[in-house]
Structure formats: C-alpha cells, structure tokens
Amino acid sequence: MIEIRKAKPADNDQIWEIIRQVISKGDTYVFDPASPKEKMLDFWCSEGKHTYVATIAGKVAGTFLLKDNQPDLGRHIANGAYMVSPDAAGLGIGRAMGEFSIEEARRLGYKAMQFNFVIKSNERAVRLWEKLGFKIIGEIPDAFNHQQNGLTNAYIMYQKV
C-alpha cells in the first residue's frame, strides 16, 4: 500500500538515492547527472518548499515537492517536481503522488498548478499529467539537452485545482 506523508530529515538518504538514479540518465531533469548530494537535497528540501515522500512498506519509493510557481503576485499557482525510484516504476507511485499533490495544492490554498518544464520525450509523465487533468499550454523548442536525443522540446502544463 502506498502512503504519502511530509518528508523528514531522516528520509534524506532515500530521497537522495531516488534523485541520484533519476538524474543520472540525463533524460528527464535539467540537473547535471553529476550533481552532488548536498546541492540536490538543498534544492529538493529547501525552505519555501513542501516536500513529500511516497512509501511502500516503510521504504521511500517516490518523492515530490510543491512550491509557489512564482513569488509574490504569482504565488497562488503551485509548481511541482516528482521522482519515482526506478525500482518502483509501474507500481502507481507517480499517479498516487500526482493525485495527492493536486488535493494538497488545493488544501495549501493554491488556485492552479503549472509545470514549467515537462520534457516532451518523457511520454510516461506527459500521459500521466494529461490523465490527471493537465493541459499542454505551451511548448518550448530545443529547451532541454537530452543526453541521448540531443536538443528536445519541453511542455508547459497547467490545470486549475
């Protein structure tokens, strides 16, 4: 059974292991695959972000964060980032985190969610977000230097919550 809760400092090593594995391929996130643990945990768990973990039998299988998409007059729209352990792919972790995050964004007072940079070739993520009600509202040409495919477009996706 998938359980989702706020992340705790004791989760950091498991969060880092997921981040390390996901960014190592250079195919879905802008972070340098050689990014150090401290840099990535500072980004993922820093102040101003709501960081969560999805667990199965007490083991962290996924993590996500919610934050203001923009400061001040743009803070009513949430932004998020999501990662699932490659070992847990296909178990519904991404969907559970997505559904939870939409409700959580609403609970936190956000009026909408916007993803500024969904890699077009990450078809699994694009399909999931569309199933959860997100619409593609823009496409950025050659926005991402995919480590296997070269320059790749990225989508901007949005939905009201």
> Across residues 129-134, what is the average pLDDT?
98
DSSP 23-63: HTTSSS-SS-TT--HHHHHHHHH-TTEEEEEEEETTEEEEE
Q: Which pLDDT value is given to residue 159?
A: 98
What's the predicted TM-score (pTM) here? 0.94
Specify the 3-state DSSP secondary structure of 64.
strand
pLDDT at 19: 98
Q: Per residue in 16-42, pLDDT tens?
A: 999 999 999 999 999 999 999 999 999
